[in-house]
Structure 1
Amino acid sequence: MTATILSTDLIAALNAPAVPGLIFRRFRGPSDYPHMLAVINGSKKADDIERSDTLEALTNNYDHLERCDPYRDMVMAEADGQMIAYNRAFWDQQEDGTRVYSVFGFLLLEWRRQGIGAAMLAHGEARLREIAAEHPRDTPHFFQSFVAGGEKGAIALMESAGYVPVRYEFDMKRDLSEPFPDTPMPSGLEVRPVKEEHLRAIWEADNEAFRDHWGYVPGTEIRYQAWLKQQDFDPSLYKVAWDGGQVAGAVQNFVNKQENEEYTRKRGYTEGIFVRRPWRKRGLARSLIVQSMKMFKEMGMTETGLGVDAENTSGALRVYESCGYRQVKKSIIYRKPLE
């Protein structure tokens, strides 16, 4: 599918469904954010997705985009002047050289099964082909899309368009009323309160540790600044292990207060878990996770949650299960060759 500018920002999509009042247009800037947020919130229940997005978080995300020009790489769908869907295309280069050209989107339930999602996916792929045409073809390159397990329509759309699952991620949960395992800190390491001057070292240690992970994309200064401005960013909750002046590992805990309120729960997240190579296989991750769970229980939380790559080569899934976490949901990373 190709796209042509008709007027200021309208897009003519070939093979677009003949839905009365439907138009496709380009991104108009921050004035679109509230309408995008409404589409996210309006679609999540149908897709069995629990998320509580805010205008602040959305703005921070779009203030720190990389390898994406939203004015060229997004398409918005409107029906009779109301936004009903949008998608965005972007690309990344993994440290191993692989280039991934990603597209994702949201579509309100009442407008599904009319060909709108398929037209928008085709538009995103066409834009990504334009971008890829400017890149060398000296490394593997793929289309990619991340789909939550409850997004049945998106799963059907991806698979009908030739995408295949290449990786799975699990959402896991842990009931804090259950006993905690005994997980002493490894000898010579200590947990210290995080100070502002520690943040860069924690960020760099995190990036170093994740170099071993599938799909790793090197961190950048833009991503560092976005991390600092995350809505739930609270380093006072972190559990960071130090070996002298070096960060050995950490759990970057946070509480999503809006999400807890929306879903009437008391959950803390034990996320951003990493251990650098010299300190692995000593029980450090388990110790930091259990310390984090005990902290959350003292704060009045009743459960903790995290996400994990189901095929993580460091054995993260086994570690989390040994701490009492159990899978509650699954998401899928789809790919197909970019010819």
Structure 2
Amino acid sequence: MLTQLEQAEITDPGLPAGYTLHGATLDDLPEAVEVFNAVSRQIIGRDEFTVENYREEWEIPVLNLPEYVKVVRAANGQLIGCVEVWDLYEPHTRLNTWIKVHPDHQGRGLEAALLRFAEDKARRSALPRAPRGARVSLLGWVNHRETVTNDAYAAAGFQLVRNSYHMRIDLTEAPPAPVWPDGITLRPFVPERDLEAVTWVDREAFRDHWGFVERPFEADVQMLRHWMKSAKFDPALWLVAVDGERIAGVSLNRAEADEDPDMGWIGSLGVLREYRHRGLATALLHQSFGDFYRRGKQAVGLGVDAYNLTGALRLYERVGMRVAHKYNTYEKELRPGVELSTQKLRNE
């Protein structure tokens, strides 16, 4: 049964005259991707998205697309904006939103309206389900060059709490061969054998990542299974470093970056605590660079928290990576309480 809070969900967040809000469907995807790319061309001069790649986001199994993703149409029927609210799994304490407005329609109040919808949706989705006494917050992630959107987050009461980077290395020559720590070897990723173990290692490694919130293990397995259905998934690019039979670290790579088919992408690099500071992460990076180089890729990219708690940013700089794009992370508290996400390193 729906709660009174859920039943009262707003259907009009105060859009400017002539604009209407609609639940998204997969049929909207080509028009939505064109809006996303129009913004990308505005700020970095080129497209970053394809319909095929973004379909993977909108087809996540537990996403109720028309309820949590809305599109905005102008009076002539053109799709000119989109807002997404992500609240897929327990404990429902740390939600995310993402908004895009076509450059021709920016600065008319649409950004503020979409953030009002996102906050309202987040409150109605999370507050009835989050653990009693837990802090609940809504976060947004924006390229620092999106001036209008950044201003809209600030005006809506969001606080700038973090920065993150997309980093890259250009493969102008063969990268160094990996030097594996004593006792560590590389073995092939076999989905039927390794999926749950790799999920566990990736999850444990990222407990030390700012903002990590533990969710049901089955949810993490489900998400990795979903990404394995991607056309960019190649098990040969999922690196599994083992100490005997125990997995010590992983690098889950994708055949190409969303923003550039000539760039390989390191989706998740994780090393268990007891294997850190021994050169394993460096070896995984060099192995990844070499794999992409041999496939003819011109560059390799990844994403990183600018203030990463485990020193990942310094590691990436040491192996020759540089910042390509900077993003701002905004947060708005929806309910005060005990923070369940990682904010600092646990005691060794």
TM-score after normalising by structure 2: 0.83
Q: Which runs of 5+ in 1 are unaligned?
A: none
1:121 maps to which residue?
A: 115
Alignment of 1:65-214 (within 5 A): 65-66=61-62, 68-79=63-74, 80-91=76-87, 99-135=93-129, 136-177=131-172, 180=175, 184-197=179-192, 198-214=194-210
Contact 2:19–2:73, Cα closer than 8 Å, also in 1: yes
Q: What RMSD, in angstroms, separates the aligned Cα atoms of the two structures?
A: 2.8
**Residues 13, 179 of structure 1: CA spacing in aligned structure 2 closer, same or farther, 3 A cutoff?**
closer
- Return closer, same or farther for 1:118/1:273 CA change in 2, 3 Å cut-off: same
Query: Aligned pair in 2 of structure 1 residues 132, 195: CA closer, same or farther (>3 Å)?
Result: closer
Aligned to 1:58: 54
**Pair 172,60 (structure 1): closer, same or farther in 2 beyond 3 Å:** closer
Which residue matches 1:17? Answer: 16
Query: Residues 51, 290 of structure 1: CA spacing in aligned structure 2 closer, same or farther, 3 A cutoff?
Result: farther
Counterpart for residue 333 of structure 1: 329
Distance 2:155 2:275 in 1: 45
- Alpha-carbon distance between aligned partners in 2 of 1:119 and 1:53, rounded to the nearest angstrom: 24
My pick for the range that moved more, 202-211 or 176-185, is 176-185
**Is residue 286 of structure 1 aligned with residue 258 of structure 2?**
no
The answer to whether the Cα contact below 8 Å between 1:147 and 1:333 also exists between their aligned partners in 2 is yes
Q: Which runs of 5+ in 2 are unaligned?
A: 336-348
Distance apart, 1:183 and its partner CA: 5.2
Corresponding residue for 1:240? 240
Contact 1:11 1:26 in 2 (8 A): no
Q: CA deviation at 1:331?
A: 0.8
Counterpart contact for 2:205–2:271, Cα < 8 Å: yes
**Cα deviation 1:221-267 (Å, max 9, x = unaligned):** 43132121133111212332111212111222223277435xxxx32
Q: Residues of 1 paired with 2:127 and 2:195: CA distance?
A: 38
For 1:289, the aligned partner's letter is L
Deviations 1:90-144 (A, max 9, x none): 33678xx781232212111001111111112112212222224413441112121
Aligned partners of 1:133 and 1:98: how far apart in 2?
Answer: 8
Which residue of 212, 216, 220 corresponds with 1:216? 212
- Going from structure 1 to structure 2, the CA distance change for 1:320 and 1:22 (only over 3 Å counts) comes to same
Contact 1:275/1:285 (8 A) holds in 2: yes
Provide the rounded CA distance (Å) in 1 between the counterparts of 2:223 and 2:6.
31
Counterpart position of 1:299: 295
For residue 273 of structure 1, the aligned residue among 247, 269, 275 is 269
- Aligned pair count reads 323
Q: TM-score, normalised on structure 1? A: 0.85
